[in-house]
Structure 1
Amino acid sequence: MQRGIPVSNPYLYTLVRWVAVGVGMLLLMLLTYGLLRAFRARRSTAAGYALILPWLLGLIIWQLFPILYSLYLSFTAYDVLTPPRWVGLKNYIDMFTRDTRFWPSVRLTVLYSVISVPLGVLGALGTASLLAREVRGIGFWRTLYYVPAVLPAAATALLWRWMFASRGLINSLLSPVYRLLNMEPLSWFSDERLVLPSFIIMSFWGVFGANTVILLAALKNVPKELKEAALVDGAGPWTVFSRITVPMISPALLYVTIMGVIGAMQNFTAPLFIATPSSAGTFLNVYVYQQGFTQFKMGYASAVAWFLMVLILILTAIVWKWSDAYVYYEGELRQR
């Protein structure tokens, strides 16, 4: 118990709920007021407000309120069955100083993001460059490479678990190497040293999906005149690609990089279906699920979730700040 704060405070719990309801009602009143003013000013603007009002209500009820409520829960001990108990910063202190599984999970998640995202973007860029060529049957290959994006994530995770099993496809293909080196087959997900490389290899599967399509569309929009002019001036293919193509598609590269960082930090389905040694840690998103829905520590799970959100914001801000020097927007003038 913290000094000056009761262990169980139903009045505070009720107050928080009523404050949340009041905030929701206030936002609804502001939306209604804006709608009425828009109706008086211009009917088309009023119609626009009317069309987005259901979406805004859904955003407030199903996203904004749960986010704010989870912030409150992160300062409580809550097991779902009993009302939350206010514990102050205890969840955060325990998370940083006492939880032996937390920091290995942070390390695994960050390393996975830092390594897999650049490799994935480079792989998607290389694949998109090949698919941008107009050759016979290219439509079939463009469709084929998009298939991984529409496959269910759970089915994909089970497929990779079978492929990385001790007698799975990967070890079967590597059996000549094992015999040559006189070594035992690798235990991909049982050896804590191989957990991170295994998930990074799995991440390549997503390269041939949405990112490839986005970069392919960006490559198709690069003016051919710029490339032809550079070739006439004596530039080689690599110079044209690095000095013209890449700067022209840099906004698309920034987008897939940021979305890749967010997606990698929120990796959930594959590690949920694939058991790994506890000493290797698990991904933070899975750790939140385990704490909240397996051990019923909703308050502690909320604290970990908020730490994950802050970590994602920091990494995203780093990528965004880095983009100022390398991302080119058509028509933009810069002082260098």
Structure 2
Amino acid sequence: MAKVLVPVDVTDAQLVVNNVPEDDGPEWDAGTTFNIGDRVIKSALHKVYESAIDANTGTEPGGADPAIWLEVGATNGFRSFDRRLSAPSSKAGSIQFTIQAQTLIRAVALVGASAVSATVRVKKPAGDVLSEQVKTLADGSHLIDAIAMVTIKPKTRDVAIFENIICQPGNRVEITIGDGTGTAEVSEVLVGDVIQIGTALFGAEVGIDDFSEDITDQFGNVDIVERAYRDVTEFPIAVNTADVGYLRRTLAQLRAKRALYYYTADGNDYGTTVYGRYEGLSTVIAGPKISDMSLKILGATYDP
């Protein structure tokens, strides 16, 4: 079944527990002088800024003149909710987020998580556990023989998806990444409802767009300028003809928004799972019962 997890925006009020520190730099202070390259944080905005000038005193980051302070991105504690696949949130031991649900949450996805395992619990505000799911994040698909198994460290999944968690408004989703050892990381945490589109078909196209560029000088020497890249997936899907109008209207509401498109939450997804926005939707009404839909997804860019 082809599905899409539509993430909700997680506000400060909803994020009732966050143990990842905002430790990217000192808090901006109006009385301190900063020079080019100095970084500060505005914890009220959960953002990191870098000074673009010397002798920078008294000008507040995020103010009317963005040429003085360059916005670098979200702070460590909030990079998991910035809708970008930039540097991950990182913490020694384990990461814990608890989100107060304001709408129905039926799935959680961890994009770019690095840890032994992750646990998702649904709890009442008083702390009673309503449900719990635990997933091992290790991916051993690259360990093709016995030698590799003992010489190469297992990688972690690109995306871990927890389905059917059923968190009603007023209850809480508790997410724990890691087992308390090493360093836990996660690029993006997605919570929200799931839309079922149709039956996944063979013939999906998966690939990568690389934005790196070859720079050739006057003598023909070529240097590669490394830039970001993104996943690209095109899904062929069989849908009920009666649902074509509904699906078109529903997917139109996701235009210019990022969501998680996937076939399966378990097993081998053949690299089809992608977090991004859909670029194109086309449907051939092939018959009175079943029609053919094609959905092309452009993934969020990964920083080099």
Larger strand share, 1 or 2:
2
Q: TM above 0.5, one fold?
A: no
Say which structure, 1 or 2, has more relative contact order (CA 8 Å, 6+ apart): 1
- Sort the TM-score into its range (normalised by shorter chain): under 0.3
TM-score between both structures, scaled by the size of structure 2 = 0.22
TM-score between both structures, scaled by the size of structure 1 = 0.21
Larger helix share, 1 or 2:
1
